[in-house]
Structure 1
Amino acid sequence: MLFRSTIRASAALLLLLPFAAACGSQAEAESPSDVSSVTLRVGATGWKTEEAVLKFAHLDDTPYNVRWSVFQGGDQQLQAVRAGALDLASSSEIPPVFAAADGEPNFKVVAVQRGATLNQEVVAPKGSKITDIAGLKGKKVGYVQNTTAHYFLYELLKRAGLKWSDIDAKPLLPNDGLAALNGGGIDAFASYGTSIITAHQQGATTIGSGKDILSGNFLWSARDSVLGSAAQRKAAADLIARITKAYAYVNDGRQSEFAEVVAKATHQPVAQAEKDFRDQQAQRPTAARGVGDDTIASQQKVADAFAQLGALKQKLNVSSFWSRKLNADLKKAL
């Protein structure tokens, strides 16, 4: 249903492209740095975390318009960017790799948001006799394809002395994976975020974690058209910076209050939401930074792993879809 909705939205946007391009050109000509006429279509995964934290910190009064859309994964956000339905996508390091490998990319990675790598796990259902990754040999294992779950499952299997071919891997979306896990359709599930929280609420146990495998680099990818507009670049940098400031506001003694917002959205007890949030911020406070050689190298390592797995047809040079064009504006906004 989500895929069909994205396609319909993409089709509608394509009809508006000539009009939007004309309006964009006119605004650029009038004032390259005037953001008042800018509308940024921004993606979020699971629930609108970034929108919620901005509202909580009273930083949602942007001088430009922001339209948030929720997706089940960063991979779907990148698909929407490719289709012209989003201007900014937030994801792990993995989705841009596959989006770029699938033809000529129309986007660039423009910023990095450092974040926690908790709730990135392989879980077994309640009552399962599987207690570790080695126990997955010959089992049906669900995973969210082209996401962190795909990557850390592969790395965990290697560490356990198993190959990808040693399991019966089933690509599933988070909600479908949860249903299959509880219904006996799969023996384990590799996923992240809200789906892992829900799995534990339903009695699932952790048999492997991506906490120490993942880099903690979460990427902001922008359509090339955004980078081509001074006003849109300024707006994008400002939005990313505001999110960093909003998390700093929460971490300045307001975690308990914000936990109530999180609990309502994720349907978990407030105490658990607060513990999870505190643990995440203790591991790695959420904060943005510009593009650097180290961030590019980190994603290159991920791309190389997928090439070894055979998930990519050929080795990919990730630097081809990174850009430092937002660095100056982001540094100023921060």
Structure 2
Amino acid sequence: MLFRRSLRTSAAVLALLLPFATACGGDAQADSPADVTLRVGATGWKVEEAVLRFAHLDDTPYKVKWSVFQGGDQQLQAVRAGALDLASSSEIPPVFAAADGKPNFKVVAVQRAATLNQEVVVPKGSKVTGIAGLKGKKVGYVQNTTAHYFLYELLKRAGLKWSDIDAKPLLPNDGLAALGGGSIDAFASYGTSVITAHQQGATTVGSGADILSGNFLWSARDSVLKSDARKEAVADLIARITKAYAYVRDGHETEFAKVIAQNTHQPVAQAESDLVAQQKQRPTRVQPVTDAATASQQEVADAFTELGTLKSRLDVKSFWTNALDADLRKVL
């Protein structure tokens, strides 16, 4: 039942969001920042909102409505349904959101960030010690996300095919429950779900840290890009997040770790250790669209074509744009 319920969730998300999108009237044009309301997605918990508040950069001249999702894939579904204006995700969700050839969004900026806590974990007491040991096992993964991608790449490196495992697509919370309940042998996930799994005694058998590019994409609805005021607001918000993380790195890690710990339910010392490690590996900062970033996502899309998850090759350039570059450089 757990597996079937997880597969139904994505379809349910879209069904629930469609009336919400209509009610929001998100396509209305805005003439000034005061007229703008940005509907922005967050994964796991509202970390971007929290870091802005912590750095005293949440006093935006426009309104921001944050919504929490379990993954970037759900954020892109919400964008497609018209319920979000701006989504943050890894390279993978926009690929699947654009797979029908009719995306209503564009990738407008690239946020460079850490790739830690992207892992394949096994429950306490498991005899599996590496990826090769997953052959024939039930392995949960978060579909159409970084977890899907790095699990596939880890299997290849171990000399295994995707068909060598019994792959089970699960949302993070469902995957945690399945891992703890013994209905799967391993789970590929990210972020808070990996932290929680370790708190429950899970151990790591594979990591996506050196597989993932560290490119996390900001995707905006096409309607947002038709309004100068909305474009300026998006650029300003993304730049503020970069500045907020710079503030955290400037001697405020311990205090922000307390904010993280409160929201992720982990010890403050562990939250601080993770935060320092993440910012050391790859400081969180945004950059305009580049050819290199587009090429990186193309490699990811091609891997999913090879896997057979995408029916045909997708040209990712079709949903990237430089429309925000000038505004972003101005505020950075």
Contact (CA 8 Å) 1:6, 1:85: kept in 2 or not?
Answer: no
Q: TM-score, normalised by structure 1?
A: 0.95
Matches of residues 226-305 of structure 1 in structure 2 within 5 Å? 226-305=224-303
1:219 is matched with which residue: 204, 207, 217? Answer: 217
Query: Matches of 1:8 and 1:137 in 2, distance apart?
Result: 38
3-state SS of paired residue (1:222) = strand
CA offset digits 1:298-320 (Å, max 9, x no partner): 00000000000000000000000
Q: CA deviation at 1:9?
A: 3.7
3-state SS of paired residue (1:41) = strand
CA offset digits 1:21-57 (Å, max 9, x no partner): 4x52xx44xxxxx211000000000000000000000
Q: Does 1:100 align with 2:98?
A: yes
User: Which residue is 1:151 aligned to?
Assistant: 149
Query: Matches of 1:16 and 1:185 in 2, distance apart?
Result: 40
Distance 1:186 1:147, change over 3 A: same
Query: Matches of 1:93 and 1:272 in 2, distance apart?
Result: 28
Unaligned residue ranges in structure 2 (runs of 5+): 1-8
Contact (CA 8 Å) 1:142, 1:186: kept in 2 or not?
Answer: yes
User: Which residue is 1:325 aligned to?
Assistant: 323
3-state SS of paired residue (2:323) = coil
User: Which residue is 1:117 aligned to?
Assistant: 115
Aligned letter for 1:13?
Answer: A
Matches of residues 58-137 of structure 1 in structure 2 within 5 Å? 58-137=56-135
Query: Matches of 1:328 and 1:123 in 2, distance apart?
Result: 42
3-state SS of paired residue (2:83) = coil
Q: CA deviation at 1:149?
A: 0.2
User: Which residue is 2:6 aligned to?
Assistant: none
Query: Matches of 2:208 and 2:214 in 1, distance apart?
Result: 10
User: Which residue is 1:169 aligned to?
Assistant: 167
Aligned letter for 2:20?
Answer: A
Contact (CA 8 Å) 2:257, 2:268: kept in 1 or not?
Answer: yes
Query: Matches of 2:232 and 2:123 in 1, distance apart?
Result: 46
Q: TM-score, normalised by structure 2?
A: 0.95
Contact (CA 8 Å) 1:92, 1:148: kept in 2 or not?
Answer: yes
Query: Matches of 1:246 and 1:285 in 2, distance apart?
Result: 12
Query: Matches of 1:126 and 1:187 in 2, distance apart?
Result: 10
User: Which residue is 1:12 aligned to?
Assistant: 20
Query: Matches of 1:163 and 1:276 in 2, distance apart?
Result: 32
User: Which residue is 2:54 aligned to?
Assistant: 56
Contact (CA 8 Å) 2:132, 2:155: kept in 1 or not?
Answer: yes
User: Which residue is 1:185 aligned to?
Assistant: 183
Unaligned residue ranges in structure 1 (runs of 5+): 29-33
Size of the aligned set, in residue pairs, is: 324
3-state SS of paired residue (1:150) = helix
Query: Matches of 1:210 and 1:333 in 2, distance apart?
Result: 32
Query: Matches of 2:328 and 2:15 in 1, distance apart?
Result: 32
Contact (CA 8 Å) 1:226, 1:232: kept in 2 or not?
Answer: yes
Query: Matches of 2:11 and 2:269 in 1, distance apart?
Result: 35
3-state SS of paired residue (2:219) = strand
Q: CA deviation at 1:12?
A: 3.0
User: Which residue is 1:38 aligned to?
Assistant: 36
CA offset digits 1:271-323 (Å, max 9, x no partner): 00000000000000000000010000000000000000000000000000000
User: Which residue is 2:194 aligned to?
Assistant: 196
Contact (CA 8 Å) 1:88, 1:223: kept in 2 or not?
Answer: yes
Query: Matches of 1:173 and 1:288 in 2, distance apart?
Result: 27
3-state SS of paired residue (1:36) = helix
Question: Aligned Cα RMSD in Å?
Answer: 1.2
Aligned letter for 1:234?
Answer: E
Contact (CA 8 Å) 1:307, 1:314: kept in 2 or not?
Answer: yes
